[in-house]
Amino acid sequence: MEFLKTLGIEGINPGTSTGRKHMESKETISSYTPTDGERIATVGVTSREQYDHVVEEAHKAFEVWKNMPAPQRGEIVRQIGQKLREYKEPLGKLVTYEMGKIYQEGLGEVQEMIDICDFAVGQSRMLYGKTMHSERPEHRMYEQWHPLGIVGIISAFNFPVAVWSWNAMIAAVCGNVMIWKGSEKTPLCAVAIQKIVAKVLKENDLPEGIFNLVTGDRQVGEWMTEDERIPLISATGSIRMGKEVGKTVASRLGKTILELGGNNAIIISENADLEMAIRATVFGAVGTCGQRCTSTRRLIIHESVYDQVKERLMSIYKNITIGDPLDENTLVGPMIDQDAIDLMQKALKEIEREGGKVIYGGEPLDEDGFYVRPALAEVQNHYNIVQEETFAPILYLMKYKTTEEAIEMHNGVKQGLSSAMFTLNMREAERFLSVGGSDCGIANINIGTSGAEIGGAFGGEKETGGGRESGSDSWKAYMRRQTNTMNWGDSLPLAQGIDFDV
């Protein structure tokens, strides 16, 4: 595997992955490739002692980093983006090999990192505060944004590198230092990124403690969420995990950015361009083997086009190439592991038990690796199983008659991440985007639910957690706002005209 060598992560990788070689770990976790279930390498698990060391190093690095002008921090991020461009292909391959998404998506994920670097470089000159007119004479009032300190980033296996970058690159230009806990299912991706970033820091004579990596399972995550030295935790993952993180961090009055599960739907209206709708649906439902938080899970189809859509989907699903994700002809790679397959199988049984019908696929393929045939099922929106996010390529088909009914079904779940409507009817489209329409953080017309660009704020409502990452003004969540009032006169007028003479 040439790309492992290029990235300097070939073979067994002892020691903790913080880049501090003198601290070797006793415990290790293994990285497996879902393509055939083989072990690729082992990575050291961060011990409590190492964790505390990392926090101290981060703290020291903050003193350096926060005092650098923001555009100079932007310059470091620019260099990281440049290195990611150089390593785009090997990194894309590693993402594919360790996580299982097809190579096109692996490359896309690295591109997403490059894009956020570019965005963050610009942002480093745009950490704007407002100026206000004071009610008092000879006073000036304005606000400034200061960094928070250490930002804890907990990311999931499905986007093993990009989610870190949306948080880390924005937080970095804001002046924060980072401690990243990647998924224990994709530790090598995190190590590869850490190495690239460490190189840039070294070339610039900056401490590696600006970007830190810790490795491990729940335990390491708990140290972070309980740690008062970390003012902000940004966590991506399941709703169950997010509720725990939210509770723990709230109990110490820390801040969180939560980006949790979705139960994303596409409404296909009778006014849709059906071919476009179907293409978007298939990419949304089977892309990343149904393991994106933005994956299309529910299809709400107008009754007049229901049969047509169902038949087209069945025929496309029959021809989807499933297999080695590094093979350019493959459209669907493996799921992450056996547990993921088991959960999918359980969900398929539940569908039938609740009265639904699996009309296509679902079965694991008889091969090494964790391959399944993506499934189509006819269901009712209120089924318990439909109300849940099953992190697998199962697409639920449902029928509607009126737009009201479609929107009600659409919003009738606990999650609120991404949503889409396919229609060429302007009234219907505007209605979907209006206050009475989709209740999600992302709402699209004539594009699917997944594959959001980094320029917009990414995240969702309800049990999706409410956090926003990436573009727009998401940077504000990584900073503390300070309101400043400056009296340049020689008297001391009080606000609200209060008279207080001493």
State the catalytic residues.
259
Least Cβ distance, residue 438 to ligand UN1 (angstroms):
15
Query: Residue 335: exposed, middle, or buried by beta-carbon count in 10 A (0-12, 13-18, 19+)?
Result: buried
Q: How far is Cα 277 from Cα 295, in angstroms, rounded to an integer?
A: 14
Interface region with ligand UN1, contact rule CB under 6 A, candidates 71-79, 180-188, 289-297, 392-400: 289-297
Least Cβ distance, residue 450 to ligand UN1 (angstroms):
4
Task: State yes or no: residue 50 binds ligand UN1 (CB under 6 A).
Answer: no
Task: State yes or no: residue 264 binds ligand UN1 (CB under 6 A).
Answer: no
Q: How far is Cα 136 from Cα 143, in angstroms, rounded to an integer?
A: 17
Q: Are strands 131-132 and 139-147 parallel, antiparallel or unpaired?
A: antiparallel
Upper half-sphere CA count for residue 492 (Cβ side, 13 Å): 4
CB nearer to ligand UN1: give 65 or 475: 475
Task: State yes or no: residue 186 binds ligand UN1 (CB under 6 A).
Answer: no
The site map against ligand UN1 for 224-253 (x = CB under 6 A) is ------------x-----------------
Least Cβ distance, residue 227 to ligand UN1 (angstroms):
24
Record the tokens describing residue 263, joined without a space.
């139960």
CB nearer to ligand UN1: give 361 or 451: 451
Q: How far is Cα 167 from Cα 234, in angstroms, rounded to an integer?
A: 8
CB nearer to ligand UN1: give 81 or 237: 237
Least Cβ distance, residue 159 to ligand UN1 (angstroms):
5
Q: Which residues, 344 to 403, sit near ligand UN1 by CB under 6 A?
A: none
Q: Shortest CA distance to 254 belongs to which of 272, 284, 231?
A: 231
CB nearer to ligand UN1: give 292 or 302: 292
Among positions 452, 457, 477, 479, the unique one binding ligand UN1 when judged by CB under 6 A: 452
CB nearer to ligand UN1: give 44 or 290: 290
CB nearer to ligand UN1: give 10 or 388: 388
Record the tokens describing residue 395, joined without a space.
């697409």
Q: How far is Cα 211 from Cα 120, in angstroms, rounded to an integer?
A: 15
Among positions 293, 322, 385, 394, the unique one binding ligand UN1 when judged by CB under 6 A: 293
Task: State yes or no: residue 450 binds ligand UN1 (CB under 6 A).
Answer: yes
Max Cα-Cα span within the chain: 87
What is the signed CA dihedral for 397, 398, 399, 403, rounded to 10 degrees? -110
Q: Which residues pair with 29 in a beta bridge?
A: 43
Q: How far is Cα 343 from Cα 360, in angstroms, rounded to an integer?
A: 17
Size of the site for ligand UN1 (CB under 6 A): 10
Nearest residue to ligand UN1, by Cβ distance, number only:
452
Least Cβ distance, residue 417 to ligand UN1 (angstroms):
9
Angle at 195 between CA 193 and CA 199, to 5 degrees: 120
Least Cβ distance, residue 238 to ligand UN1 (angstroms):
11
Angle at 214 between CA 220 and CA 93, to 5 degrees: 120
Task: State yes or no: residue 292 binds ligand UN1 (CB under 6 A).
Answer: yes
Interface region with ligand UN1, contact rule CB under 6 A, candidates 173-181, 323-331, 342-350, 444-452: 444-452
φ, ψ at 188 (rounded to 5°): -70, -35
Among positions 32, 51, 103, 159, the unique one binding ligand UN1 when judged by CB under 6 A: 159
CB nearer to ligand UN1: give 57 or 469: 469
Least Cβ distance, residue 480 to ligand UN1 (angstroms):
26
Among positions 90, 231, 323, 451, the unique one binding ligand UN1 when judged by CB under 6 A: 451
Task: State yes or no: residue 165 binds ligand UN1 (CB under 6 A).
Answer: no
Q: Are 389 and 241 in contact (CB under 8 A)?
A: no
Least Cβ distance, residue 355 to ligand UN1 (angstroms):
30
Among positions 33, 186, 225, 294, the unique one binding ligand UN1 when judged by CB under 6 A: 294
Q: Which residues pair with 28 in a beta bridge?
A: 44
51 alpha-carbon distance from chain centroid = 24
Interface region with ligand UN1, contact rule CB under 6 A, candidates 137-145, 287-295, 345-353, 382-390: 287-295
Q: How far is Cα 203 from Cα 326, in angstroms, rounded to an integer?
A: 33
Q: How far is Cα 335 from Cα 337, in angstroms, rounded to an integer?
A: 6
Task: State yes or no: residue 474 binds ligand UN1 (CB under 6 A).
Answer: no
CB nearer to ligand UN1: give 292 or 431: 292
Record the tokens describing residue 346, joined without a space.
């359980």
Task: State yes or no: residue 312 binds ligand UN1 (CB under 6 A).
Answer: no
Three-class secondary structure of residue 38 per DSSP: coil
Q: How far is CA 55 from CA 64, 190, 229, in A?
A: 15, 18, 8
Return the CA Rg of the chain: 24
Instruction: Tell me the three-class secondary structure of 48-69, residue by residue.
Output: HHHHHHHHHHHHHHHHHHCCCC
Residue type (1 letter), 164:
W
Interface region with ligand UN1, contact rule CB under 6 A, candidates 71-79, 178-186, 291-299, 328-336: 291-299
Among positions 158, 415, 438, 474, the unique one binding ligand UN1 when judged by CB under 6 A: 158
Least Cβ distance, residue 306 to ligand UN1 (angstroms):
26
Task: State yes or no: residue 211 binds ligand UN1 (CB under 6 A).
Answer: no
Which residues of the shown chain bind ligand UN1 in the complex (CB under 6 A)? 158-159, 163, 236, 292-294, 450-452
